[in-house]
Amino acid sequence: NAGVTQTPKFQVLKTGQSMTLQCAQDMNHEYMSWYRQDPGMGLRLIHYSVGAGITDQGEVPNGYNVSRSTTEDFPLRLLSAAPSQTSVYFCASSYRPRAGANVLTFGAGSRLTVL
Amino acid sequence: ILNVEQSPQSLHVQEGDSTNFTCSFPSSNFYALHWYRWETAKSPEALFVMTLNGDEKKKGRISATLNTKEGYSYLYIKGSQPEDSATYLCAFMGATGNQFYFGTGTSLTVIP
């Protein structure tokens, strides 16, 4: 199994450009989520989804959009990139977190730089 | 937004030393606490899921305890080895919602 696959691994954008970070999992996980990792800040939740067609905001949702049209995919869209969005982004998935001892499986991360 | 704190921020120990660090979280509305191990240039990997007050989990030389009434969890590493060098993260989930709140981690360096 591939687990959680994120693309691209690295990306440089100019302010105002748009892009999509892709996340796909092949474990039939209902729960998928996006985090950003900034120095001294820990992992902060951007958006999450508990199933196809259902998404919700996390701690830091501003400037990001998500959709969940299939169980496998959970793309993160930056509509107009800003330097404050320079970060490392992680996608993570699990079976329903409230249905038992279900841990998060993380992707390899995507490093985004906005100039 | 909930506050999850980890201490110390970083730790350097000699090979063979035992060590422990702390994760503090809100003591009300607890659902679960996770511990993850995060090596440089890799992704976080799960160590433990803890859901009941008084839980004790063990995996090899690493163990964890949970006190939900006072809002803390300890992670212990017995006889540290260089391969234990990593950042250790805890993540809290409350009784409502589906959000995990991560601490900033404890960075452990084991000196050979």
pLDDT of residue A2: 77
CB atoms within 10 A of CB A43: 27
Looking at the complex, does the CB of residue A38 fall below 8 Å from at least one CB of chain B?
no
Q: Do A101 and B51 touch (CB under 8 A)?
A: yes
Band (pLDDT 50/70/90 cuts) for residue B29 is confident
Tokens at A43, concatenated: 């992992």
Tokens at B68, concatenated: 């939900």
pLDDT in tens, B32-66: 999 999 999 899 999 999 999 999 999 999 999 99
Describe the strand order of the beta sheet including B56-59 as a list of residue ranges.
B5-7, B19-24, B72-77, B62-67, B56-59
Return phi, psi of residue A92, to 5°: -140, 145
pLDDT under 50 in chain A at which residues? none
Q: Are B108 and B49 in contact (CB under 8 A)?
A: no
Q: Which helix (H) or strand (E) holds B38?
A: strand B30-38
Q: Quick one: what percent of chain B has pLDDT higher than 70?
A: 99
**How many Å separate Cα B92 from the centre of its chain?**
10
Residues on B contacting A at a C-beta cutoff of 8 Å: 1, 4, 31-32, 34, 36, 42-46, 49, 51, 89, 91, 93, 98-105
Give SS3 for B93: strand
Return phi, psi of residue B68, to 5°: -80, -25
pLDDT of residue A100: 63
pLDDT of residue A112: 97
pLDDT of residue A1: 64
Residues in chain B with CB shorter than 8 Å from the CB of A62 are none
The beta-carbon neighbor of A104 closest among B1, B46, B51 is: B46
The beta-carbon neighbor of A103 closest among B31, B49, B102 is: B49
Looking at the complex, does the CB of residue A97 fall below 8 Å from at least one CB of chain B?
yes
Tokens at A103, concatenated: 């841990």
The beta-carbon neighbor of B43 closest among A33, A102, A106 is: A106
